[in-house]
Structure 1
Amino acid sequence: MSTPEWLAHAPAHARAFLEGRQLDEVECIIADLSGIARGKAMPAVKFAKQTHFYLPSSIFQQTIAGDWADDGDAAFLEPDMVLTPDFSTTRAAPWTADWTMQIIHEMSEQDGTPVPVAPRNVLKRVVSLYTERGWKPVVAPEMEFYLVARNIDPTQPVIPPIGRSGRRAAGRQAYSMSAVDEYGQVIDDIYDFAEAMGLEIDGILQEGGSGQVEMNLRHGDPVKLADEIFYFKRLIREAALRHDCYATFMAKPIQDEPGSAMHIHHSVVDAATGRNLFDGGDGTETAEFLHFIGGMQKHLPSVIALLAPYVNSYRRYVRDFAAPINLEWGRDNRTTGLRVPISDPESRRVENRIAGMDCNPYLGLAASLACGYLGLVNKLDPAPQYAGDAYDSDDGAIPRDLSAALDIFDAATEMHEVLHPRFASIYSSVKRLEYDAFLQVISPWEREHLLLNV
């Protein structure tokens, strides 16, 4: 049984998964603007004989509904981009019937420059700005999602799944071990898939919603963590399908239940020494720590369209539903949009609680890091720390619908330079097309309250 030469460049967990087995298929994938895996699947023998392949760059102009936005630059030509495998991202696809590997690919123009609209490249661009200044950003994401009953009719509301007790999952059971056990078979498969893929889980717990789960990842490199979230979303969906339910990462899938967030913990270390720039060495907070918060307070409004990318995203920003409605900051205060968790000085960090789990992980991390970067570079001071219930301080900084968020994003030229102007243009075009499509849909609420009353 021959082993493909390229597997020598793959991580040990991928080689271990295939030990004594014949590789059948390789999935060559990238993430589009929505975070959907797109690419090609091919026989392993064919993959071993090629160094790259092509996909049209118009992939990044496709909306979540499958429509195509105009990029204003000879879109009809649909030029190809060059995809080359990043072998460090090789991971098993343990849910498939045959022996399959997934590999995330690098995306470049035909002249070799990175495709500026590709979400993974946007994140790499932001990380490189830190690197140029001798800094190394560190992130630790938290993933929230719902397990829900199968929903094959979009006109019907989403409902919680039936657990092993025969009853539907109940809400307001945060941190309950018995609530997690209700769908323990799904959780078991998530652990098994993650182990086969070499993915590390820091912990899993029951959140406050009916069937809502939170999964924590350990801290690390932003690109690596974004790759892992990209993979995790797929494996979690596959684990749920095995047990006759869906996993959804919608920001607000169930009426009157809490939304699902992707909280992002941030720190920045000196690349040469490994010292946390937020810690003064004697337990004190540094100016850099405050500047990072100041950058988030000033610039987060301009990237809400990336952190909350769909019309449904804004249903999460509701007072007292475990979601922030402000950009205040505070220590160990979950009512603020920016929280400083309890930690030892070396682990001092800032938690961004604004991002929804429906955001593209590459773009969510890029946007959040970009805000902190601008705060560090421009030495921005934050507002005073908020003490008390920050729900009493709706500062109006967070736009409450996608259209308003896009207006702010379009005007944020300083942010465009960080993310890339070309990306900003395409992203806005795609999201405005999605918003226009949404406006054509008449909801049950409108029919119920307006049809005969206005």
Structure 2
Amino acid sequence: MPPVKKEVRPSSRAGRVRTPAFIKNLRGVRNWKEASAWLEYRGIEDIECITPDQAGIPRGKMMPSKKFTSNTSLALPSAVFMATISGGYPEDGNGFQYPEDDGDLKLLPDLSTLTVVPWEEDPTAAAICDLVHQDGRSVAFAPRNVLKRVIGAYDKLGLKPVVAPEIEFYLVQKNPDPDYPLTPPVGRSGRAIGGGAGYSIAGVNEFDELIDDIYHFSESQGLEIDTLIHEEGAGQLEINLRHGDPVELADQVFMFKRTIREAALKHEIYATFMAKPIQGQPGSAMHIHQSIIDKKTGRNIFTADDGSETEAFTHFIGGMQKHVPNALAMFAPYVNSYRRLTQGASAPVNTMWGYDNRTTAFRVPRSDPAARRVENRIPSSDANPYLAMAASLACGLIGMKNKAVATPPVVTTANEDQIDLPRGLLEAVDLLEADHELCEMLGNPFTTTYAAIKRAEFETFMEVISPWEREYLLLNV
């Protein structure tokens, strides 16, 4: 029998090699040296360098991790960020001009977003990138840069916005043929999910294993879920995120959408963020809670020293009331989005505000004075989170700058009278282009590009003959 070897432990005086704290970060490092160590520690083989396009779809490149850390120049054609959701391109006009050379734009990885991709079989990481020109200038029409531009306008005034998004989505049966309507999925009970299950724990439990994967994938990426509930629709869920910096939260929504889709596919169903995926069921929203902090004092500028509301609070609401209808193309970016915005439904079609009134567009939830905030209930979950947050915060800032006067708060049902919002995508685009203050705040290169894309998408939609037309026009006209 061989002799038993004693384990030799290093003396406490011997210099132990400590694992640096950043190595254990689930999300983000400070520099390229840390990035190399972080990747090596996890045995990462591939890196996804991604950035959101106008629709919020991840675009980018995949590469070996060694190439990622070797100061490689990453580039994508500018056309990628001028494409419609169907892959087409808009016509020149109304201030938009397609670049003749379709030159490259550079991807600059934001290392604070570096994280693992937990659903990949091979060790993989991802980093969200900013888009810049070859000379280093920020690309004005890139969605992440648009949000940074608005945050910069607050920063010049010594202010810092804080947001908390809530994202609704549906789980549906796989639907490989788009000619067929979407249907609710079958849960663990073996029955198709029905509606009317708002806040039902049993409704959440129908998808226990899928939700466990959502939590697991989210934890692995350092994404923090505040709460998860079952909404009113059949197979409709909602995830609430903790409040924080708008760019960081937009990044999280961007990654959450991808995470939820991947978790659903693992269980052979789809997750969809369409605003109105199933006829007769409620639409899906992306509500945005907003407050503004004075950077010097750290205090909420919506609340005075005695706990009362400030003028900044009412001016912010006044700006929302005036400019949000003109920004609707970013809150409701597709033809389908307007199917959610209907009179008498849960989605607001007004510009009213009220205290804890869910029938108004702008709700002020019950809270301590220090947490006073304004919830924008108009955006749908199909919106690009960077653009929705940028537009919402821009409307409020314009209101504070111009001392916009808010209407009195509504204490009754506000969604059954007139409709204060555009009824369709083209009307919304026209209003955006006519609001010069809003276009300036967001950047004219962005608004002209975005408007051109939306008009092109509408024309593509008009090429499709709907079942309604075949049912009511085929034999009657």
Match of 1:63 in 2: 84
417, 421, 429: which one pairs with 1:406? 429
Match of 1:453 in 2: 476
Distance 1:167 1:323 in 2: 28
Distance 2:23 2:422 in 1: 43
Match of 1:149 in 2: 173
Superposed displacement of residue 392, structure 1: 3.0
Superposed displacement of residue 168, structure 1: 0.7
SS of aligned partner of 2:286? coil
Correspondence 1:398-437 to 2 at 5 A: 398-437=421-460
Distance 1:444 1:31 in 2: 33
Distance 1:364 1:137 in 2: 14
Distance 2:383 2:215 in 1: 23
Residue segments in structure 2 that go unaligned for 5+ positions in a row: 1-19, 28-34
Superposed displacement of residue 106, structure 1: 1.6
Match of 1:4 in 2: none
Q: CA contact under 8 A between 1:11 and 1:88: conserved in structure 2?
A: no
Identify if the C-alpha distance between structure 1 residues 273 and 105 changes in structure 2 by more than 3 Å, giving closer, same or farther.
same
User: Is residue 353 of structure 1 aligned with residue 366 of structure 2?
Assistant: no
Distance 1:74 1:428 in 2: 13
Correspondence 1:51-200 to 2 at 5 A: 51-70=72-91, 72-73=96-97, 75-200=99-224
Superposed displacement of residue 74, structure 1: 5.5
Superposed displacement of residue 22, structure 1: 1.5
Q: CA contact under 8 A between 1:259 and 1:321: conserved in structure 2?
A: no
Correspondence 1:20-419 to 2 at 5 A: 21-70=42-91, 72-73=96-97, 75-394=99-418, 396-419=419-442
SS of aligned partner of 1:28? strand
- The amino acid across from 2:448 in the alignment is S
Superposed displacement of residue 52, structure 1: 3.0
- The amino acid across from 2:57 in the alignment is I
Deviates more, 1:69-78 or 1:215-224: 69-78
Distance 1:411 1:8 in 2: 51
Please give the TM-score of this superposition, normalised by the length of structure 1: 0.96
Match of 2:10 in 1: none
Superposed displacement of residue 20, structure 1: 5.4
SS of aligned partner of 2:100? helix
Superposed displacement of residue 318, structure 1: 1.9
Distance 2:427 2:339 in 1: 14
CA deviation digits over 1:215-244, x for unaligned, max 9?
Answer: 000000000000000000000000000001
Q: CA contact under 8 A between 1:70 and 1:429: conserved in structure 2?
A: yes
Match of 2:3 in 1: none
Tell me how large the CA RMSD over aligned residues is: 1.6
Please give the TM-score of this superposition, normalised by the length of structure 2: 0.91
Distance 1:128 1:306 in 2: 19
SS of aligned partner of 1:311? coil
Distance 2:24 2:467 in 1: 50
SS of aligned partner of 1:334? coil
- The amino acid across from 2:126 in the alignment is Q
CA deviation digits over 1:155-211, x for unaligned, max 9?
Answer: 000000000000011101100000000011111000000000011000000000000
Deviates more, 1:278-287 or 1:246-255: 278-287
Deviates more, 1:19-28 or 1:229-238: 19-28
Q: CA contact under 8 A between 1:9 and 1:87: conserved in structure 2?
A: no
- The amino acid across from 2:465 in the alignment is I
User: Is residue 13 of structure 1 aligned with residue 26 of structure 2?
Assistant: yes
Distance 1:140 1:279 in 2: 18
SS of aligned partner of 1:390? coil
Superposed displacement of residue 81, structure 1: 1.1
Q: CA contact under 8 A between 2:47 and 2:68: conserved in structure 1?
A: yes
- The amino acid across from 1:45 in the alignment is K
- The amino acid across from 2:154 in the alignment is Y
Match of 1:3 in 2: none
Superposed displacement of residue 21, structure 1: 3.8
Superposed displacement of residue 10, structure 1: 7.8
Q: CA contact under 8 A between 1:61 and 1:70: conserved in structure 2?
A: no
Q: CA contact under 8 A between 2:344 and 2:416: conserved in structure 1?
A: no
- The amino acid across from 2:476 in the alignment is N
Q: CA contact under 8 A between 2:274 and 2:336: conserved in structure 1?
A: yes
Superposed displacement of residue 19, structure 1: 7.8
Distance 1:86 1:11 in 2: 18
Distance 2:130 2:409 in 1: 41
Distance 1:321 1:181 in 2: 27
Residue segments in structure 1 that go unaligned for 5+ positions in a row: 1-6
Superposed displacement of residue 320, structure 1: 3.5
Q: Which has the larger radius of gyration?
A: 2
Superposed displacement of residue 17, structure 1: 8.7
